[in-house]
């Protein structure tokens, strides 16, 4: 779509207040930025403040067949939060919350930041189950829509397994609140056909022995590749099925206007230890043993990952070697009391001691040391981003092997790194679930580089999905990134079921098209985001968005991520303009607009407090860039005054 229908746009303008409608290229481009390596610029951005507005916009969009995409904090990594049609964001009016049953449950609107939900629950000794690495920035809407998990979440505590109730809006603008009997009765009456079709689809899956077995196998693993087909075999009531299909649907089936979670215990007493092994096989052998014990987290780091954070506080240099076979495990255990924790530590220490540990930092309850150990693990991803060549992007992939095959999977991934020239690639992950992340850097400026990336991903997909029967996306969501590979992982029969799910719930296909299901086998290498050099201060930015939650100007003008993204675009357009020397081109018009708007939204309104640097995984203080630009402006202004005076 190159333009929106005229009548559609007229009705949007009449329906919503002016401040909710964003049409200028500066803000459309700024709000298009997310943490993925894809870039689509929306034709229109709508900032909605009420459930009624969401319903009205969806009804109108369905009427005119206009595609819409919802986004929350924009920390998603797989391209599910970008659009070249209508992008819907939420105002601050979506941050309401209700702590229920003495902390046993919590009802949250989609604009609540995950860490804030946990702060609300802390007095009750509870937390929400999902614990993604981006929890200080990402929002509940994204956590639920992507079925995000994390380091301690495992499979049992993600949104799918801890959702109690939900209010959701479908593509036709209708909604249901599953905690309200009257709302449920009305919805069942109005959507009898849709619910009947879902129930029949579930019955077909439950009675299909091979398909039932495949779904059961897939969800013994962490899996966010495709739709949550386990909903079709886990539940009988079609409304329960619908609610659980919404989890992980990435905005392709509907809008989650609030969700009620059953919370989990947050133990006060914790201990962590770091252990180094001579090979992935030895480390993974211990992981299999620990998976049968009461352990909160086991994080795996290969030797390249350890080397990437050499010098970090708490990490002895002796853990960093040139032997790529070495593998480390960071283990955390918790308990309700000090005595119970001691007992758990003693039991685990006996198991660990029988698995040929090369070096160790034994279990410690010291809060500072434990923070340092977890900072080591969390620092691996940004460490690659910080040393990458300017102009390249850092990519983090997210696969899951059956735990008994994890060591083999690590070895084979290392072979693919070497085969395709990704020598900087590192592997770490949530070992108890067989969930591995691998990080590498990639340039998309040359076609040869795009083709190399494509060949690499094709090889990874065959290795994980076909050879080891694993999942290609464990917790980052399918997005645009893995959409072409969903059928490869699931097979044609299960893929047809997913297509039926989409057709039943979103018959007009307006909700986030191209995400999860995509018939274009090349969609994962289209609309790739370039990261042009712009300034030494900001070139290491990976556009993750972790900075945005603490920025004083986030609701006034640009956030740090947006300032960087727009400045990159300005520098890129200036370079293109100098090369083309065409002042009347579309690029030239965009450049004039971006430069004009950046003065206020980028420079004048930046508080330059440095709060962004505290959240930035690569330590960028966007205020330093702004101070430099202000200084350059003052210098130019001074020169002009001097010349005038002379």
Which residue in the block uniquely carries the two structure tokens 């070096």? 359
Of the pLDDT bands very low, low, confident and very high (cuts 50, 70, 90), residue 482 is very high
Domain ranges in the chain are 1-266+486-531, 269-476, 548-645
C-alpha distances out from residue 530 to 30, 301, 526, Å: 15, 29, 12
State whether residue 584 is helix, strand or coil: coil
**Both tokens of residue 11?**
């009705």
* CATH number for region 269-476: 3.40.462.10
3-state secondary structure of 406: helix
Rounded to whole angstroms, what are the CA distances from 371 to 48, 303, 313, 321? 39, 21, 10, 23
Phi, psi dihedral angles at 520 (to 5 degrees): -85, 110
Q: Which residue in this structure is represented by tokens 């850092």? A: 394
- 262 strand-pairing partners: 105
CA distances from 497 to 18, 172, 243, 282, 531 (A): 42, 22, 17, 40, 38
| CA atoms of 440 and 425, how far apart (whole Å) | 4
> Does residue 534 sit in helix, strand or coil?
coil
Give the span between the Cα atoms of 358 and 48, in whole angstroms: 56
**CB contact at 8 A, 81 and 39:** no
pLDDT at 638 over 70: no
CA 128/CA 600 separation, integer angstroms:
39
Q: In sequence order, which residues have a C-beta less than 8 Å from that of residue 2 and are 6 or more positions away?
A: none
Phi/psi of residue 88, nearest 5 degrees: -110, 120
pLDDT of residue 153: 82
Task: Give, as one character, the DSSP assignment of residue 92.
Answer: G
- Only one residue has tokens 């108890």, namely 432
Q: Tell me the mean pLDDT in the region 128-157.
A: 93
E-assigned strand segments in 336-473: 359-364, 393-400, 426-430, 435-442
d(CA 440, CA 394): 6
Mean pLDDT of 565-587: 84
pLDDT of residue 577: 83
- Residue 1 pLDDT greater than 70, yes or no: no
pLDDT at position 635: 65
State how far the Cα of 350 lies from the Cα of 411, in Å rounded to an integer.
28
Write the pLDDT tens digit of every residue in 434-473.
999 999 999 999 999 999 999 999 999 999 999 999 999 9
Q: Is the pLDDT of residue 533 over 60?
A: yes
DSSP output for 188-256: HHHTHHHHHHHHHHHHHHHH-HHHHHHHHHHTTS---SSS-TTHHHH-SSHHHHHHHHHTT-TTSS-EE
pLDDT number for residue 580? 60
- CA–CA dist 254, 17 (Å, integer): 23
Region class of 284: left (phi > 0), else alpha (psi between -120 and 50), else beta:
alpha
What does the alpha-carbon distance between residue 523 and residue 579 come to, in Å, rounded to a whole number? Answer: 30
* Per-residue pLDDT reduced to its tens digit, 17-28: 999 999 999 999
Give the CATH number of domain 1-266+486-531: 3.30.465.10
Average the pLDDT over 168-185 and give the result.
98
> What does the block give as tokens for 438?
């691998």
Left if phi > 0, otherwise alpha if psi is -120 to 50, otherwise beta: which for 346?
alpha
Cβ pair 117, 518 in contact under 8 A:
no
Token pair recorded at residue 518:
């995509």
| CA dihedral sign, ordered 418, 303, 437, 383 | negative
Helix 492-505 and helix 238-246: axis angle, to 10°?
100
Separation between Cα atoms, residue 501 and residue 517, nearest integer Å: 11
Q: Would you state the pLDDT for residue 644?
A: 52
pTM of the shown model? 0.95
H-run or E-run covering 126: strand 126-127
Residue 637 has pLDDT above 80, yes or no: no
Average pLDDT over residues 343-359: 95
Q: Report the pLDDT averaged over residues 146-171.
A: 94
- Residue 63: pLDDT above 80? yes
pLDDT computed for residue 152 by the predictor = 84
Given pLDDT bands bounded at 50, 70 and 90, which one contains residue 62? very high
What average pLDDT does the segment 540-548 reach? 95
Give the other-Cβ count within 10 Å of 580's Cβ: 11
- Are 56 and 519 in contact, with CB atoms under 8 Å apart? no
176: left (phi over 0), alpha (psi -120 to 50) or beta: beta
Question: Mean of the per-residue pLDDT values for the chain?
Answer: 95
64: which DSSP letter? H
Under DSSP, is residue 343 helix (H, G, I), strand (E, B) or coil? helix
> H or E element: which one contains 140?
helix 140-145
């Amino acid at each position: 779509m190159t333009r929106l229908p005229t009548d559609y746009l007229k009705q949007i303008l009449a329906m919503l207040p002016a401040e909710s409608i964003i049409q200028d290229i500066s803000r459309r481009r700024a709000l298009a930025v997310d943490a993925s390596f894809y870039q689509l610029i929306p034709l229109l951005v709508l900032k909605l403040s009420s459930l009624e507005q969401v319903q009205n916009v969806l009804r109108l969009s369905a009427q005119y067949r206009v595609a819409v995409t919802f986004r929350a904090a924009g920390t998603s990594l797989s391209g599910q939060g970008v659009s070249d049609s209508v992008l819907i964001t939420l105002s601050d009016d979506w941050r309401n919350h209700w702590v229920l049953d003495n902390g046993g449950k919590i009802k949250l609107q989609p604009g609540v930041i995950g860490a804030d939900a946990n702060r609300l629950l802390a007095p009750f000794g509870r937390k929400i189950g999902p614990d993604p690495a981006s929890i200080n920035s990402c929002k509940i809407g994204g956590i639920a829509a992507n079925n995000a998990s994390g380091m301690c979440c495992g499979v049992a505590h993600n949104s799918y397994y801890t959702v109690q109730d939900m209010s959701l809006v479908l593509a036709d603008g209708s909604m249901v609140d599953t905690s309200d009997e009257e709302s449920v009765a009305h919805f069942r009456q109005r959507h009898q056909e849709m619910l009947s079709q879902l129930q029949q689809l579930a019955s077909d899956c439950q009675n299909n022995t091979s398909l039932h077995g495949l779904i059961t196998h897939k969800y013994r693993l962490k899996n966010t590749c495709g739709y949550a087909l386990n909903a079709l075999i886990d539940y009988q009531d079609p409304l329960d099925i619908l609610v659980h299909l919404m989890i992980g649907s990435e905005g392709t089936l509907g809008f989650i206007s609030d969700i009620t979670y059953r919370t989990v215990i947050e133990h006060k007493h914790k201990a962590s230890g770091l252990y180094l092994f001579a090979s992935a096989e030895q480390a993974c052998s211990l992981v299999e043993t620990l998976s049968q014990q009461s352990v909160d987290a086991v994080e795996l780091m290969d030797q390249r990952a350890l080397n990437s954070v050499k010098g970090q506080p708490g990490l002895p240099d002796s853990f960093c070697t040139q032997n790529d076979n070495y593998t480390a495990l960071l283990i955390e255990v918790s308990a309700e009391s000090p005595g119970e924790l001691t007992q758990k530590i003693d039991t685990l220490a006996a198991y660990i001691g029988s698995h040929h540990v090369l070096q160790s930092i034994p279990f410690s309850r010291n809060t500072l040391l434990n923070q340092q150990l977890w900072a080591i693990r969390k620092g691996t991803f940004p460490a690659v981003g910080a040393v990458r060549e300017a102009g390249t992007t850092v990519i983090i992939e997210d696969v899951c092997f059956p735990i008994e095959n994890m060591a083999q999977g690590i070895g084979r991934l290392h072979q693919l790194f070497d085969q395709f020239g990704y020598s900087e690639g590192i592997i770490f992950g949530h070992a108890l679930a067989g969930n591995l992340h691998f990080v590498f850097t990639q340039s998309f400026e040359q076609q040869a580089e795009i083709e190399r990336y494509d060949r690499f991903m094709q090889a990874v997909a065959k290795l994980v999905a076909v050879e080891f029967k694993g999942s290609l996306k464990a917790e980052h969501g399918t997005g645009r990134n893995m959409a072409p590979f969903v059928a490869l992982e699931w097979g044609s029969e299960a893929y047809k079921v997913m297509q039926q799910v989409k057709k039943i719930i979103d018959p007009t296909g307006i909700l986030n098209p191209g995400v999860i299901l995509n018939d274009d086998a090349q969609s994962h290498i289209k609309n790739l985001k370039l990261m042009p050099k712009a300034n030494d201060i900001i070139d290491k930015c990976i556009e993750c968005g972790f900075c945005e939650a603490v920025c004083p100007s986030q609701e006034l003008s640009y956030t740090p991520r947006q300032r960087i993204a727009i400045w990159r675009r300005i520098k890129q357009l200036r370079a293109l303009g100098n090369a083309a020397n065409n002042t009347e081109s579309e690029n030239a018009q965009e450049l004039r607009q971006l430069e004009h708007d950046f003065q206020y939204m980028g420079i004048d309104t930046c508080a330059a407090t440095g709060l962004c640097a505290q959240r930035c995984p690569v330590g960028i203080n966007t205020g330093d860039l702004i101070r430099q630009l202000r200084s350059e402006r003052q210098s130019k202004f001074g020169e002009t005054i001097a010349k005038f005076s002379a």
